[in-house]
Amino acid sequence: MGKAGQLVLAHLLMAAVLLGGCARMAVNSLMEPTVANLQRQTDLELVCEGASSFLLMLDGMIAGEPMDKRLLLAAVQGFSAYASALDVCGKPERAATVSSKAREYALALLATKPALRSIAAMDPEAVQSALAELNEDDVALLFWAGNGWATWIHYQDGSPASLADLVRVEQIMRRVVELDEVFYHGGAHLFLGALYGAKPPLLGGKPDLSRFHFDKALAVSRGEFLPVQVVYAQTYARMMYDRDLYERLLNQVIDFPVEQRPDIALANEAAKRRAARLLEEIDHVF
């Protein structure tokens, strides 16, 4: 981001401090379209270099209004997308650091629901009971909080703490499927497909259930949300040693025109880069 853009963000942050509630309304109205615009970017390097200024401003706003759901939702979406972009830009260590903010704001977003205020310390039965109290109006909160939490788990290399958290995120995503399985291109199905397909059956994997959820995500997204095909290939197809499926899924990603879905261009461009790299390495996998 250039100096002019940084200056604009600095002025917005100063206005928020000086004007209090009025500025909060203005920034709230800015956050949602800004996050949406982030998802429309195809220049991953630009996102990796420039998104930090926006997220710094968002941090400052949340410090003043720590229970503002709209700000927390924007923060979870923004930090999760930024972490994913950094990974594709070849900065996995930085992505891991940013993912901690995604988890922090995911838990804060969940804490806006009294039943989920202590979810990180709740046992599975208590989580299940708490989630049962939520309804269709809570789907966006649940999905994005679960996604942000899962972003952090991805970078924890299977640590005991992250595995305990994974159980809770699984419960969140299963509840999203119950309430609205098509939300965000079937994103909850994508998560569950990856979860059940990442391990062989002898170690607790559930390949049939994995394929069911991936196929659901493909159907819901009409094959246009390309992370589905990439993760399908990386987990289920690889675990089942199905080279034909692996190659077919990744070629679908390569052949898809990003401009066909400008609203999810960032995720699709990142998926295309991953697919190209995976295809280059296919002979080392099979």
Percent of the chain with pLDDT over 90: 65
Exposure pattern of 169-204 as b/e (b: 16+ CB <10 Å)? bbbbbbbbbebbbbbbbbbbbbbbbbbbbbeeeeee
Residue 201 domain flag:
yes
Predicted TM-score (pTM) of this structure:
0.87
| Residue (of 137, 134, 131) closest to 170 by Cα position | 131
The CA distance from 268 to 221, in Å, is 12
pLDDT digits (tens, 9 = 90+) for 137-163: 999 999 999 999 999 999 998 888 888
Residue 224 domain flag:
yes
pLDDT digits (tens, 9 = 90+) for 209-250: 999 999 999 999 999 999 999 999 999 999 999 999 999 999
Residue 251 domain flag:
yes
Residue 254 domain flag:
yes
Residue 272 domain flag:
yes
Residue 117 domain flag:
no
186 and 227 Cβ atoms separated by less than 8 Å = no
* Total number of domains constituting the chain: 1
| Residue (of 58, 16, 18, 10) closest to 34 by Cα position | 58
Residue 168 domain flag:
no
Q: Kindly state the tokens that stand for 66.
A: 């720590």
Average the pLDDT over 118-147 and give the result.
96
Residue of higher predicted confidence among 71 and 29: 71
Q: Kindly state the tokens that stand for 194.
A: 């990856």
Residue 209 domain flag:
yes
Domain extent at residue 213 = 189-286
